[in-house]
């Protein structure tokens, strides 16, 4: 919806073509490092591609989430070894020394019950093995990361803001984006 509204080019997370995803959900400990390296390489490729483009791009998932949320969660849960996590983190830090923060980060904050509901709506069979402890760990790491994020940030209440099919709710989001990115308020347009 934001891509259409602003004329931005969307970049979506490639879940359908991921050779590790089903294996990962079947055995997180065995496949966590492989999956995270796969995502890191794909997202770094996206970051490099975006940096070469002249048009504006919007992503539904960023390179930061894997390294600051998903990989640490797997490590904290004992599903990624210290050695693999350190190797992964060093590679991420090297990659990040070559790129800049996005112009704007939009964080959709969501409770565990809402996340479970959204995951169920997607209907991906392999996601049914995802435990509440895993989601709780992710939420905690997201909140910690967002609290310390250094770039421009908009936080949206994902539990109570349903903008699909709701022009008023969508307008509140675009108004906030206009203020943060373009420095003007809706009444000035």
pLDDT in tens, 38-79: 999 989 999 999 989 999 999 988 899 999 999 999 999 999
Residue 177: the pLDDT is 94
Determine which one of 23, 46, 55, 60 is catalytic: 60
Indicate if 103 belongs to the active site: no
Weakly modelled stretches of the chain, pLDDT under 70: 14-16, 185-189
User: Which tokens hold the place of 70?
Assistant: 């998903």
Distances (CA, A) of 6 to 92, 150, 156, 185: 30, 24, 18, 16
Residue 69: the pLDDT is 95
Residue 187: the pLDDT is 55
Residue 99: the pLDDT is 86
Domain residue limits, the chain: 2-157
Is residue 104 a contact partner of residue 179, using CB atoms and an 8 Å limit? no
Cα–Cα distance, 167 to 170 (Å, whole number): 5
Cα–Cα distance, 94 to 154 (Å, whole number): 27
Report the CATH fold assignment for 2-157.
Answer: Rossmann fold (3.40.50)
The verdict on pTM exceeding 0.85 is no
Q: How far apart are the first and last CA of the chain?
A: 20
């Amino acid at each position: 919806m934001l891509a259409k509204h602003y004329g931005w080019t969307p970049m979506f997370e490639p879940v359908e073509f991921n050779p590790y995803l089903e294996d990962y959900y079947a055995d997180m400990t065995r496949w966590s490092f492989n999956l995270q390296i796969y995502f890191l390489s794909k997202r770094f490729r996206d970051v490099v591609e975006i940096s070469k483009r002249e048009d504006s791009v919007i992503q539904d998932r960023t390179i930061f989430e894997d390294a600051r949320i998903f990989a640490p969660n797997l490590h904290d849960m004992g599903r990624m070894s210290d050695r693999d996590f350190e190797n992964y983190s060093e590679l991420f830090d090297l990659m990040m020394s070559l790129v800049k923060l996005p112009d704007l980060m939009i964080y959709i904050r969501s409770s565990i019950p809402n996340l479970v509901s959204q995951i169920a709506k997607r209907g991906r069979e392999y996601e049914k093995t995802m435990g509440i402890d895993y989601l709780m760990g992710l939420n905690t790491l997201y909140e910690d990361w967002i609290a310390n994020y250094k770039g421009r940030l908009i936080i949206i209440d994902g539990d109570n803001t349903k903008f699909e099919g709701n022009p008023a709710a969508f307008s509140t989001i675009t108004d906030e984006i206009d203020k943060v990115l373009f420095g003007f308020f809706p009444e000035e347009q």
